[in-house]
A = this chain, B = another copy of it.
């Protein structure tokens, strides 16, 4: 995995401790955290970090293509350091969000293109249901 400093610099972003902390955290989790969760997880080690900076930084990252924003219908957005488009599954019981392989739904876009005559740019595919763990506890 490339060094976070290099990744930020490659995108022309000024490198600050806050940005390093946020990007490093996001690229090491598969939990799709929201801004608040990111903030709370970094607060202990970055005591001066503010929530506003987390929001501003996520916005920079989004614009630079370093992260993608994911809205699964909750009050707040989640963020994902995997920027290739891929479907998600959301557990309606425990709230867990898991990734799905993009190539398993390749034909989607083609079908939608035929149907809408849109010039398609992206898609969002979210499944809701109970994850294996939740569905087995009655």
Contacts and interface: CB of A to CB of B under 8 A. Distances in A.
Contact of A123 (B91, B121, B128, B135): B128
Sort A-B residue pairs by CB-CB distance and give the 9 closest, nearest first: A120-B129, A118-B129, A119-B135, A119-B130, A124-B126, A123-B127, A121-B129, A89-B116, A117-B132
Contacts of A109: 127
Interface of A: 69, 71, 73, 87, 89, 91-92, 98, 100-101, 104-105, 108-109, 111-112, 115-132, 135
A8 B108 CA distance: 36
15 contacts: A69-B73, A89-B116, A89-B118, A89-B120, A92-B121, A100-B116, A104-B111, A108-B125, A112-B127, A117-B131, A118-B131, A122-B127, A123-B127, A124-B124, A124-B125
A129 to B, nearest CB: 4
B119 A129 contact: yes
Contacts of A105: 108, 111
Given A100-B112, A125-B108, A91 B73 contact: no
